[in-house]
Amino acid sequence: MDQNRKLEGIIPLRTLVLNDGDTIIEDIMETNIISVNTHMDQEEAGNLFRKYDLIAMPVVDQENRLVGIITIDDIIDIIEQENTEDFQVMAAIEPSEEEYMKTGIMRLARNRIVWLLILMLTATLTGGIIRRNEEVLVSAVTLAAFIPMLMDSAGNAGFQSATLIIRGLALDEIKLHDILKVIWKEFRVSLIVGVILSAVNFAKIYFIDKAGVLIALTVSLSLSITIILAKIVGGSLPIIAKKLGLDPAIMAGPLITTIVDAVALLTYFYLASWLLGI
């Protein structure tokens, strides 16, 4: 440090030991320093450790004065804690640092009930879409049997994309300005995946369920469109969330499913009334 406590350089213990006793510190110190700031997010500090394979980093304040040191064994705990938080948030749980086996049931219930309530009430919107299209179901009740498959496939497709993007953002492998690249990538992936799924689906409904070509077409076409929309929504929402300063992980588990369910049902009923002339 200089006289103002500003950080000038660092020397690993190994370098110190391997040099003669009369070497001057200034000559052997490393001045190209990677340090963390007192205001830096702990996830960011973890990424620096990972990127540069460090075992310790100096901590400086806003005026670049040395205020402490952070070592890698603390970082490992932080990394696992950040990961646990992401897992919990994506599973629609209020994040908690307490170990599961040591947490009381009232606390566990409280961490879970908020999101379950929100999601239950938003899912009634999806129910509202069905209610407004009851006449379609009455005319062709067999259409109801494909709703779970459509909703699940849409949810799974969207969750896949969202998870990859959230993980990429957390590890700093995907940047905010990549959003258009991500959407374009997800669009092409969803075309491939959607066409294969729909072809298998069409064959199953037409040849095995023997439900008629129009029903098979309605379901398969809805599936394709839904998967494309689900993957674009799943890929872009986490990035948009981060841009808005929200936690990208919240956009994955909890919200993606609800949004994508609504998209799936709207597409399905729209296509059904059009193709089946209901």
Around Cβ 195, how many Cβ atoms within 10 Å?
15
- Under the criterion CB under 8 A, does residue 152 sit at the interface with a second copy? yes
Q: Which of 185, 260, 202, 201 is nearest to 230 (CA)?
A: 260
- Under the criterion CB under 8 A, does residue 269 sit at the interface with a second copy? no
Minimum Å gap between C-beta 112 and a second copy is 5
3-state secondary structure of 10: strand
Footprint of a second copy on 92-131 (CB under 8 A): 92-93, 99-101, 105-106, 108-109, 112-113, 115-117, 119-121, 123-124, 126-128, 130-131
Nearer to a second copy, 6 or 184 (CB): 184
- Under the criterion CB under 8 A, does residue 174 sit at the interface with a second copy? yes
Burial 138-169 (b: 16+ CB within 10 A, else e): eebeebeebbeebbebbbebbbbbbbbbbbbb
Residue of 25, 91, 180, 203 interacting with a second copy (CB under 8 A): 91
Which of the stretches 23-31, 35-43, 57-65, 160-168 binds a second copy when contact is defined by CB under 8 A? 160-168
DSSP code of residue 208 = I
- Give ∠ CA 231-157-278 in degrees, rounded to 5: 85
Which of the stretches 1-9, 25-33, 36-44, 135-143 binds a second copy when contact is defined by CB under 8 A? 135-143
Residue of 75, 179, 215, 216 interacting with a second copy (CB under 8 A): 75
